[in-house]
Chains A and B, each alone.
Chain A
């Protein structure tokens, strides 16, 4: 990457004069200045402030009081809810992301077949992702109504007595996961694009070796898709750890959310409650930093592990 960045236009390299180079540098800083200023004012400054605030007790109105690491200690040792919040968030993310992934691979595989009316199916699968989360949430509140809701009415057709979903501590997280699976369209489209990019000759070669449908899928399609799957996984986990609107609307009543009994309380809603409902700005900042560290660790973990299972095309060529 560094190499490409520094490859100067041949004409300018030949010119070699100092003045144009200074002018160019000046222009770089001029044109990049919105981002640089934005970075300092909206990211770096607030980050430092947030780090400081996480070491204080601050109610937003009176001045912050220094408490050292108390907020962090309290989060992990004295807060009756925080561990539960971490557990819920992990449960939600580590189920919804892989589930969505598996479902998307299947749906994309089907959509990649030469079928008539493919466009209609593709649109149908993609439509749910176009519904903004607020609309999705109010809609699914009704979908999940214990007896009259669409889902339980559907289950009743098969003689299944559906759970109370959002009201049941055991079922509220599965309900939220179901909503995320409903919106698989984005990852389906990504995978579909990936599948269409797989060269035909690979399949032909596999067929010549006597590979059946399943073996072609297992040994050609899937390995070739790993970069897309990898990308989806990283983005999916980062997104899932930050769920908010669903929780606020589906499990809340304006005064509290994440119910029943915090069974669906997740990190960002918990942060929101402390910051904007209970005026614990310092404590909320500490939660934000914990979230950051978790996301950083997870992302690094996925990236590190990727060499074990992500298969890049140039490796194929090299072999």
Chain B
């Protein structure tokens, strides 16, 4: 029985990792192999120079990466802080109309982003934000309904006595939030941060719609651009495309190992991977 479990798990693990091995093998192939399209599952060539070539070729891989970092960094900062602040308000402060607002917030969870896609596109066009990262970054500074909901649940579980004591000490609401509640929200902040990171790091549709100049594109779109360089009957530089794919994947893995401790919160947030 135990042997069977091992055998089954080994097969499953092999099926899951084989494509990744293939990605690595392709990324280490020579240009000639790449042009012929004859790749093998296990690397037979070791062209580490491809990792340099990806940066020195005519495609600005360096700026793709930089844009990804800018986009993701600002998105995470905005999303985490603002969502936490709004969540605190919903969890702790009393105000007329709050319950109605919370129902509105919950109902926006049902709303697919596609509904607002075209008018938002027009709005950002009018603002002259097309072909900048702004339409991708700025909405994060208004918080996200799902994150606010999750964090509100989290704050509700923090004992009230602490911030009540602080309020009695004369600390204002904002300070209670930043000094008392925010530090206690750490697991939730990290979970939302990781989720926001993975979403924005791999986000494809937004950059595709808003960005037209290569120098403004993040890596997720950049990989697709590398892949499309072939076109018109020419083969794409497969080895470099796979270098790009690896560069796109590695930070995700790093963040995963960093955030493994918070996996539970993360898995609760990350309901779907479809972008």
Chain A interface (Cβ < 8 Å from any Cβ of B)? 1-2, 4-6, 8-12, 21, 24-32, 34-39, 41-43, 45-47, 49-50, 53, 60, 107, 110-111, 113, 115, 120-121, 124-135, 138-140, 142-143, 145, 148, 150, 180, 182-183, 185-186, 189-190, 193, 231-232, 234-236, 238-245, 248-249, 253-254, 268, 271-272, 275-276, 281, 284-285, 287-289, 291-292, 295-296, 299
Contact = CB atoms under 8 A, between A and B. Distances in A.
B241 A138 contact: yes
Given A34-B85, A133-B202, 15 more contacts: A5-B98, A27-B89, A28-B93, A38-B142, A132-B220, A231-B271, A238-B271, A241-B112, A244-B204, A244-B275, A254-B228, A276-B209, A284-B118, A288-B112, A289-B115
B16 A182 contact: yes
B12 A125 contact: yes
A293 to B, nearest CB: 10
Contacts of A287: 114
5 contacts: A25-B94, A53-B118, A121-B10, A124-B13, A232-B271
Contacts of A275: 117-118, 121
A11 B95 CA distance: 16
Interface in B91-145: 93-96, 98-99, 101-102, 104-105, 108, 110-123, 139, 141-143, 145
Nearest to B88: A31
B31 interface: no
Interface of B: 2, 5-6, 8-10, 12-13, 15-20, 22-23, 26, 37-39, 41, 82, 85-86, 88-90, 93-96, 98-99, 101-102, 104-105, 108, 110-123, 139, 141-143, 145, 148, 156, 160, 164, 167-168, 172-174, 177, 198, 201-202, 204-205, 208-209, 220-221, 223-224, 227-228, 231, 238, 241-242, 244-246, 248-249, 252-253, 256, 263-264, 267-268, 270-275
For the complex, would chain A's binding face be called helix, strand, loop or mixed by DSSP majority? helix
A110 B143 contact: no
Contacts of B172: 27
Contacts of A4: 156
A139 B256 contact: no
A132 B197 CA distance: 11
A64 B62 CA distance: 41
Contacts of A238: 112, 271-272
B108 A43 contact: yes
B247 to A, nearest CB: 9
Contacts of A131: 20, 23, 245, 248-249, 252
Contacts of A34: 82, 85-86, 141-143
Nearest to B15: A182
B113 to A, nearest CB: 8
User: Which 8 interchain pairs have the tightest Cβ spacing?
Assistant: A38-B142, A239-B272, A132-B202, A235-B271, A46-B119, A135-B245, A25-B95, A124-B13
B86 A32 contact: yes
B270 A27 contact: no
B16 A193 contact: no
B142 A128 contact: no
Contacts of B246: 135
Given A27-B174, A31-B88, A9 B115 contact: no
A132 B198 CA distance: 8
A296 B107 CA distance: 10
B2 A115 contact: yes
Contacts of A140: 19
